[in-house]
Amino acid sequence: MPKPKIKPTLFIICYLLLVCILFFAIHIQEKEIIKLQSKRIELLKIVNKTNTIIIEELNKIINQQIEKIEKKQKTKEISNATITAFNTVTWQTDDTPCLAKFGYICNRDDVVACPRDIPAHTKVIIFNKEYECMDWTALKYNGRFDISFDKDIQGAKEFGKKYTKVIVKL
């Protein structure tokens, strides 16, 4: 049986039809790629904008923390301040000598009663040692610093009354 012959014109038409279909398919894919690239660019813009906002917010937080640290590092110097000593005993304080205005103070060697204009828990440096303001001095002694010698009564007596520079960490 002889093979059927394909007419060249029919072959060319089929070939052209196939090329058109492929071209159309490629063209549709290119449009989709362009759409996807456009969406990607939009998303990148959104991400960049979001990142900028996040970075700005992080910078605000960091700057606030830096301000807090700088505020903590600020100091005030009081020259020729009066420094005295006290003990955590009832006959020098009240019936709860270990409970100061701002917390428990017994068995600590870093406690001082401060003038009333210094906030609670402020750190002060007296004789090159750091103390924490855990109480305020009595009104009649306001302006002086009273270092706790806990139960060391003899040490407090020997310390007596002194005058020196005090650095208040604000």
- For residues 109 and 35, membership in a common domain is answered with no
- For residues 64 and 91, membership in a common domain is answered with no
Residues near 72 by beta carbon (within 8 Å), at least 6 away in sequence: 169, 170
Indicate if the pLDDT at residue 3 is higher than 90: no
Angle at 29 between CA 23 and CA 31, to 5 degrees: 105
- For residues 103 and 27, membership in a common domain is answered with no
- pLDDT score, position 49: 80
Number of domains forming the structure of the chain:
2
Residue 41 sits in which domain range?
1-73
- For residues 102 and 39, membership in a common domain is answered with no
Using CA atoms, how far apart are residues 91 and 148, in angstroms rounded to an integer? Answer: 14
Residue with more model confidence, 32 or 150: 150
Q: Which of 32-41, 54-63, 127-136 shows the lowest mean pLDDT across its residues?
A: 32-41
Domain boundary among 58, 73, 88: 73
- For residues 21 and 59, membership in a common domain is answered with yes
- pLDDT score, position 5: 59
How do residues 14-55 score in pLDDT, each as one tens digit?
677 777 777 777 777 777 777 777 777 787 787 778 778 877
Using CA atoms, how far apart are residues 4 and 12, in angstroms rounded to an integer? Answer: 17
CATH number at residue 123: 2.40.40.10
Domain boundary among 24, 56, 73: 73
- CB-CB contact of 126 with 112 (8 Å): yes
- For residues 68 and 91, membership in a common domain is answered with no
Please give the backbone phi and psi of residue 24, each rounded to the nearest 5 degrees, phi first: -60, -45
- For residues 38 and 94, membership in a common domain is answered with no
Domain boundary among 25, 41, 73: 73
- For residues 91 and 59, membership in a common domain is answered with no
- For residues 12 and 52, membership in a common domain is answered with yes
- For residues 40 and 52, membership in a common domain is answered with yes
- For residues 64 and 108, membership in a common domain is answered with no
- For residues 106 and 142, membership in a common domain is answered with yes
- CB-CB contact of 86 with 160 (8 Å): no
